[in-house]
Amino acid sequence: MSKPYQIIPISECGEQLVAIASDIYRIAPHPYMALGAPYGDRSPFFIRQGILERLQKSQAYLRTLRPNWQIAVFDAYRPIPVQQFMVDYSFTQLAESKGLPVENLTKEQKKSLMTEVIEFWAIPSDDPQTPPPHSTGAAIDVTLYRYPTQDEDSIQEINMGSPIDEISDRSFPDYFANSLDIKEREFHRDRQLLNQVMTYSGFQRHPNEWWHFSYGDQLWAWISNEKSAIYGGVK
């Protein structure tokens, strides 16, 4: 189940992981830590220095378009054990959503379910030539929030039409592009806004996920027609 971008060579630039700055909103509690994902002493809210700078540039640009809106980080750095944990968790959740007991799955059912999971989740590879994007510190999952108005008492999440990590066609960035429904057209508009502000600073969006953006990893290089990536796996 290899991904097409995994053939891209990596010329690691050596940039360090840094904490996401306090001026960027981080969703808490972190969803995977709440599930018990094995982060150990690592934080999910770390990214490469260059990624932080680009994220801050995107946030500044968003403020010129929507002064009271905020990019919100759902997830960032993901060690390989966490990637494996979330792939296994998503596999189980998908099976249960289809009414299929995991312990009784046939070989064909397992293969079919995993194909669906891997459409959205990267393979948790230990091979330094094929690191999952989030394990490089160069990929982030983001959405949009807005600061409260006079009638509200807390920051509000923008409804993007489907939750982050949903394994369905609704996760495709342009799923609502041709909808005649007013609300669904708003979902598409806000997904386009998120893409606009993220690509402004050089990020590329995952073809299947409205929330996933990266710069400098293999997926970014593949989408951008670059000859090599500059960020490899970080342990």
Which one of the listed residues 116, 119, 209, 226 is annotated catalytic? 209
**How far apart (Å, rounded) are the C-alpha atoms in residues 101 and 105?**
7
**How far apart (Å, rounded) are the C-alpha atoms in residues 108 and 85?**
22
- Let me know if 209 is a catalytic residue: yes
Helix/strand/coil (H, E, C) string of the chain? CCCHHHHCCECCCCCCEEECCCCCEECCCCHHHHHCCCCCCCCCCEEEHHHHHHHHHHHHHHHHHCCCEEEEEEECCCCHHHHHHHHHHHHHHHHHHCCCCHHHCCHHHHHHHHHHHHCCCCCCCCCCCCCCHHHHCCEEEEEEEECCCCCCCCCEECCCCCCCCCCCHHHCCCCCCCCCCHHHHHHHHHHHHHHHHHHCCCCEECCCCCCEEECCCHHHHHHHCCCCECCCCCC
φ and ψ of 204, to 5 deg: -120, 145
Q: Which positions are catalytic?
A: 209
